[in-house]
Structure 1
Amino acid sequence: MTNSYTPGLVAGRLDADEIAVNFADLHPAYDPHEAAVAADRCYFCHDAPCVTACPTDIDIPLFIRQIATAQPEAAARTIFEQNILGGMCARVCPTETLCEEACVREAAEGKPVEIGRLQRYATDAAMARQGHPFLRAPSTGKSIGVVGSGPAGLACAHRLAMKGHDVTIYEARERAGGLNEYGLAAYKTADNFAEREIGWLLGIGGIKVVHGQVLGENVDLATVQADHDAVFLGVGLGGVNLLDLPGFDLAGVRNAVDFIAELRQADDKSSLAVGRNVVVIGGGMTAIDAAVQSRLLGAQSVTLAYRRDRSAMGASGYEQDLAATHGVQLMTNVTPVAVHGDGAAQEIELEYTQAGNGTLQATGERIRLRADQVLLAIGQNLAEDAGLATKRGKIAVSGAGRTSLAGVWAGGDCTPGEDLTVVAVAEGRDAAEDIHAALSE
């Protein structure tokens, strides 16, 4: 696929002021009064179901009670003890399918306590202060190599540094953060939050980040092992799934991951070229983020095409509704057949599908849509397994992230499980505890 110039891709469809409004914070922060009112709705349940639903096991009733009693920084410590990336998770976590879906208020009234926004209120308050909330333990003299600075790698590195170990993070890209820096919608992480959060996290000390280190290219697992007492792999999913179909090599067709990354790194979003008629293939969070941001950049028509029905989409109902409210047409039970155009995309051909006998079947009925830009969001794959045992195309792990190779742990999107920021944080944290226990024996 190529990202060459095409007549349909135009920069500056909207001026800078419109772009700034469109990409403003999706959920503006609470002020103290709003936070107090929201916290007052919590029942402070015993054996709260919201805690069980949180992958990082944050004591949600406790931190909300601390907010209710005007102690937001104490609330933040409650959060950070379990989830050091609680600020980012408050912004991007699908709380509507996790803690808020489990909230007793949701069951009783259809309106949960806004746990995510309360978490953001507390973590923002703490991060605005000078200094880091945790101190390092005395040095152990042990060294750990962490490959990848995404949520799993950062959570692992911070917990290990807290326990007195020295950590070196090997990062492939120019900026640390992984998915948080390159893969999330800009309106979810406004004001350069991902970079600011990493700077704050590194305030614990004992963590060194080395950039330009690509596993399997200029750095290999054996070398990292030789230099450290233990290794944690948080390499994410560096590869993207493509479609080998007619016309998918035309200009104007690209993967949505690169589109989102380019948008996230742009100093001037109004300078980004976007099609007049955009079609996004996929049904997950990446597809939604690409579709909504295409609209925010000024695309006149954006269609999200998914091969199954809405109930099977990876994106939550909330995200689907968010796309619809931004003018994205959700087209389900269609699969791509070809892209048509003279050197550049002009139309996409889709075929309707139906479920039958436990499989997805093509119906033979086809439709063409105008499309000068086609974005593929059909999943990612593991770019480098470093020779470790794999399971379902990811690095196989047991217990708290132990791989098939002694002294090597892994977590996050590169291992089996849900590909969520909050899950990656939990896996990095738990692997760090296991690494510490192993090194302490």
Structure 2
Amino acid sequence: MTAHSDIAAGRLDPVDLAANFGDAHPPLDKRQAVIESSRCYFCYDAPCVEACPTDIDIPSFIRSINTGNLKGAATTILESNIMGGMCARVCPVEELCEEACVRNLQEEKPVNIGALQRHATDALFAAGVQPFTRAAPSGKRVAVVGAGPAGMACAHRAAMLGHDVTVFEARGKGGGLNEYGIAAYKVPNDFAQRELDFILSIGGIEMRYGQALGRDVTLAGLRRDYDAIFLGIGHAAVRALGAEGEEMTGVMNAVDYIAELRQAADKASLPVGRRVVVIGGGNTAIDIATQAKRLGAEDVTLVYRRGRENMSATWKEQEWAQTNGVRIKYWAQPRRILGWPANGAGPAVKEVEFEYTQLDANGRLMGTGDGFTILADQVFKAIGQYFVPSALEDGLSAEPLEIASDRIIVNADRETSLKGVFAGGDCVPGTDLTVAAVEDGKIAAEAIDRLLRG
């Protein structure tokens, strides 16, 4: 008998969808912010600052909130992290500043640093205040490739230091993963674009959209036309499962679906399966699983090949998915995807066959030979992305960039093996976090300034 997968749009009515994709974590009001800020000990050698990749003076901004100086609090945050508003929403604070909080170390509830950071930056954005001004023009030109967190952090700091910046972005909007790759309920109300507008309001930054490195511009051409270059080109490819049947109808890359969801004017138009399987263990896997559930999928199962403690998604993200009705199965890997018989459009997903996994005597992952199957209409691959260096290979550069393990090698200043060419974010070794990318861009911009001023 020929059948087909049950993938359909409009599983929920507009009212339910609006609620499901509204702000997942409502902001603190004024009273709540004052109460929460009063819990801070304002430590002199604050461990929370040490845990912050961008070195925000956390006690200082919390004290400003406590005294009612929201502009001062926001300025303190944004001086260190120009995307402090976004990071307040998506940063894994439970493994960074809040984990290091002295109250947390005393087995109390840590100060809600992320929510306080959002309270301050939201107030500044709502007031339309730009606390930074540009330095005197330097006469130097900086090219930034990629308008994601690393690229825009570099662009803002370089512009603030007096340089003229041109940003080349392959897509039609800036923001990178902030715009295309984060769950919609984390950043509703077009926040990524509002933050981008704030960054651009400092002046001195020209945005050129639809300009991809290796297609519309070349590294050699940029080196010829600009005094310095920053590469914030992120990841460009999704890892394959390597399982039989993954090209079948109904098998999708999670990042592509999330991008489509983020850009959809009407989320009811997005088709989602009745039974969804997500394969992966990172934040993207959590985001797609939770959003599938919130789009109306009845049964969502996330399968990860190792244990709970090995997932790159934090414990808080895992609990969030489970609270939303996502079932998580550990210690299993996909063996093959089985489909319904072809009905003219090719076979469609019917079920996924998994094999149980374990660690061998040397600590390496291995299959046990035993397995199970999960019925599925839709399968999302979320096992990671990787950097594709081919865009850098224009055949024109006299010397190639040093690349190792599919990442651009940089020094402490984020300068590559080519003089005057810097890089940061997901395309360089390090942690794939928004906050880390922002720090890369900031460090590179300051190094570029020192280079250009001799």
* TM, length-normalised to structure 1: 0.98
Quote the residue 2:419 is aligned against. 406
Q: Deviations over 1:175-198 (max 9, x none)?
A: 100010000000110111001110
Q: Deviations over 1:153-180 (max 9, x none)?
A: 0000000000110000000001100010
User: How far apart in 2 are the matches of 1:224 and 1:384?
Assistant: 17
Q: Secondary structure at the match of 1:319?
A: helix
- Equivalent position amino acid for 1:433 in 2: E
Quote the residue 2:279 is aligned against. 281
Quote the residue 2:101 is aligned against. 103
C-alpha RMSD of the superposition: 0.9
- Decide whether the 8 Å contact of 1:216 with 1:384 is kept in 2: no
1:313-392 aligned within 5 A: 313-342=311-340, 343-356=347-360, 357-384=362-389, 386=392, 387-392=400-405
Displacement, 1:404? 1.1
Q: Secondary structure at the match of 1:37?
A: helix
Q: Deviations over 1:266-306 (max 9, x none)?
A: 11111100001101110000000010000000100101100
- Equivalent position amino acid for 2:428 in 1: T
Displacement, 1:148? 0.1
Quote the residue 1:420 is aligned against. 433
User: How far apart in 1 are the matches of 2:353 and 2:437?
Assistant: 37
1:154 partnered with 2:159? no
Quote the residue 2:270 is aligned against. 272
- Decide whether the 8 Å contact of 1:215 with 1:384 is kept in 2: no
Quote the residue 2:135 is aligned against. 137
Quote the residue 1:3 is aligned against. none
User: How far apart in 2 are the matches of 1:270 and 1:108?
Assistant: 46
1:396 partnered with 2:409? yes
Displacement, 1:243? 2.2
User: How far apart in 1 are the matches of 2:184 and 2:423?
Assistant: 28
Displacement, 1:7? 4.0
Quote the residue 1:165 is aligned against. 163
Displacement, 1:8? 1.6
One of 31, 36, 39 as aligned partner of 1:38: 36
- Equivalent position amino acid for 1:438 in 2: L
Quote the residue 2:246 is aligned against. 248
- Equivalent position amino acid for 1:439 in 2: L
Q: Secondary structure at the match of 2:426?
A: coil
1:296 partnered with 2:294? yes
1:87 partnered with 2:50? no
User: How far apart in 2 are the matches of 1:16 and 1:234?
Assistant: 37
One of 120, 129, 143 as aligned partner of 1:122: 120
User: How far apart in 1 are the matches of 2:39 and 2:107?
Assistant: 11
- Decide whether the 8 Å contact of 1:279 with 1:375 is kept in 2: yes
User: How far apart in 2 are the matches of 1:42 and 1:400?
Assistant: 33
1:202-217 aligned within 5 A: 202-217=200-215
Q: Secondary structure at the match of 1:36?
A: helix
Displacement, 1:384? 2.9
Q: Deviations over 1:41-85 (max 9, x none)?
A: 001011000000000000000000000000011000000110010
Q: Deviations over 1:300-350 (max 9, x none)?
A: 010110000111000000000001101111101000011101210010000
Displacement, 1:200? 1.1
- Equivalent position amino acid for 2:446 in 1: E
Q: Secondary structure at the match of 1:188?
A: coil
Q: Secondary structure at the match of 2:201?
A: helix
User: How far apart in 1 are the matches of 2:128 and 2:378?
Assistant: 45
User: How far apart in 1 are the matches of 2:175 and 2:222?
Assistant: 20
User: How far apart in 2 are the matches of 1:389 and 1:281?
Assistant: 33
Task: Structure 2 unaligned segments of length 5 or more: list them.
Answer: 341-346, 393-399
Q: Deviations over 1:81-111 (max 9, x none)?
A: 1001000000000000000000011111331
- Equivalent position amino acid for 2:232 in 1: G
Q: Secondary structure at the match of 2:127?
A: coil
User: How far apart in 1 are the matches of 2:63 and 2:234?
Assistant: 36
Quote the residue 1:429 is aligned against. 442
- Decide whether the 8 Å contact of 2:6 with 2:377 is kept in 1: yes
User: How far apart in 1 are the matches of 2:128 and 2:31?
Assistant: 24
**How many equivalent residue pairs?**
436
Q: Secondary structure at the match of 1:80?
A: helix
One of 221, 224, 228 as aligned partner of 1:223: 221
Q: Secondary structure at the match of 2:301?
A: strand
Displacement, 1:129? 1.6
Task: Structure 1 unaligned segments of length 5 or more: list them.
Answer: 1-5
User: How far apart in 2 are the matches of 1:84 and 1:185?
Assistant: 21
- Decide whether the 8 Å contact of 1:131 with 1:203 is kept in 2: no
Displacement, 1:201? 0.8
User: How far apart in 1 are the matches of 2:81 and 2:401?
Assistant: 28
User: How far apart in 2 are the matches of 1:15 and 1:110?
Assistant: 41
* TM, length-normalised to structure 2: 0.95
- Equivalent position amino acid for 1:422 in 2: V
User: How far apart in 1 are the matches of 2:325 and 2:381?
Assistant: 19
- Decide whether the 8 Å contact of 1:53 with 1:99 is kept in 2: yes
Q: Secondary structure at the match of 2:372?
A: strand
- Decide whether the 8 Å contact of 1:144 with 1:168 is kept in 2: yes
Displacement, 1:219? 1.5
1:21-60 aligned within 5 A: 21-60=19-58
1:438 partnered with 2:451? yes
Identity of aligned residues (%): 55
User: How far apart in 2 are the matches of 1:341 and 1:296?
Assistant: 25
User: How far apart in 1 are the matches of 2:380 and 2:20?
Assistant: 20
- Decide whether the 8 Å contact of 1:388 with 1:395 is kept in 2: yes
